[in-house]
Amino acid sequence: MYQNRIKLYQGVDNVLTLDVKNSDQKRIDISSMILKMIVSDVFGRELVTADVTASATTGLATVNIAEDDLANITPQFLTFSIYRQNIDLSRTVLYADTQFGAVGKMELVGTVMPKLTPPRYITRFAPISNNYSIPYITYYYSDAVEVRKPNFLQAEVDETVEMIFANAGLSGPVTVQYTTEDVVSTGTTWIDVETFNIVPSTASLSKVYEYPTYNREISWMRIKYSQVINNTGKLDKVTIIL
């Protein structure tokens, strides 16, 4: 019934088909049976228990290992067994071969679905005064945030980066900057993407940049802003969605 190793994948439901036969290799009626599959690690610790559902065809059944059941399990080799739950709550094991082998082999190999890049968050801004300007201006520079390099980016490909600004009473110019350098240092050259003004009544603001502004060469992004005279507001948070 299950001599070969079965592969499970994270990120999707895994639906398995079982063919249940007697010792004469004839399918048996399992429609009235309560069948369960137990998935365990190599140390025998139970990880998942799933119901086995009989199909309309005699002897055939399916078992669904749900996506959520595998989400927090590290990819690894696993074992499984199938049993019948009797009326008295005892268990009868289903064997896989004529040698009474009751344990099957599985492998959890990770996800087959694309992984979403988690948002990046900017919450810290360091003040740096420009003592050469009149009037004197203090600029606030955020931490540099590493961004994902889009793959095979062409002009017609819809690849964007969205920046959501949460404002805490700031009034002044805000500049989005990026660099193509692999490592950020005090000597990094930053390129301005856009400068725009925020006023205290602007509680939040969203900006979207696409190719060619957002392209494969970009490695890091940051935010710079300054306050107009007599304003003490600040940017509270910037969320970068790739």
Q: What is the pLDDT of residues 170-199, one digit of tens each?
A: 999 999 999 999 999 989 999 999 999 999
Give yes or no for a contact between 63 and 1, defined as CB atoms under 8 angstroms apart. Answer: no
- Amino acid 86 reads N
CB 48 within 8 A of CB 41: no
Q: Which residues are paired to 53 by β-bridges?
A: 62
d(CA 61, CA 17): 6
- Which residue type does 196 have? F
Residue 162 confidence (pLDDT) above 50: yes
Return residue ranges of the chain for CATH 2.60.40.1930: 6-111
User: Does residue 230 carry a pLDDT above 70?
Assistant: yes
Q: Give the lowest-confidence range in 66-75, 96-105, 122-131, 154-163.
A: 154-163
Residue with more model confidence, 160 or 35: 35
The average pLDDT across 90-106 equals 82
CATH class of the domain defined by 6-111: mainly beta
| pTM of the predicted structure, to 2 decimals | 0.57
Cβ count near 195 (within 10 Å) = 12
Question: 67 phi and psi, to 5 degrees?
Answer: -55, -45
Q: Give me the chain's average pLDDT, please.
A: 87
Q: Which of 85-89, 210-214, 238-242 shows the highest mean pLDDT? A: 85-89
Question: What was the pLDDT predicted at 153?
Answer: 46
Q: Is the pLDDT reported for residue 156 higher than 50? A: no
pLDDT for the residue numbered 134: 63
Q: Which tops the pLDDT comparison, 115 or 139? A: 139
The sign of the dihedral angle between the CA atoms of 184, 188, 194, 199 is positive
- Per-residue pLDDT band for 160 (boundaries 50, 70, 90) equals confident
Within 8 A by CB and 6+ apart from 112, the residues are: 9, 10, 11, 12
pLDDT of residue 151: 58
Return d(Cα 111, Cα 113) in angstroms, integer.
5
CATH classification of 120-241, choosing from 1.25.40, 1.10.1660, 3.30.565, 2.60.120? 2.60.120
SS (H, E, C) the chain: CCCCCEEEEECCCEEEEEECECCCCCECCCCCCEEEEEEEECCCCEEEEEEEEECCCCCEEEEEECHHHHCCCCCEEEEEEEEEECCCCCEEECCCCCCCCCCEEEEEEEECCCCCCCCEEECCEEEEEECCCCCCEEEEEECCEECCCCCCCCCCCCCEEEEEEEEEECCEEEEEEEECCCCCCCCCCCEEEEEEEECCCCCEEEEEEECCCCCCCCCEEEEEEECCCCCCCEEEEEEEEC
pLDDT confidence tier of residue 36, bands split at 50, 70 and 90: very high
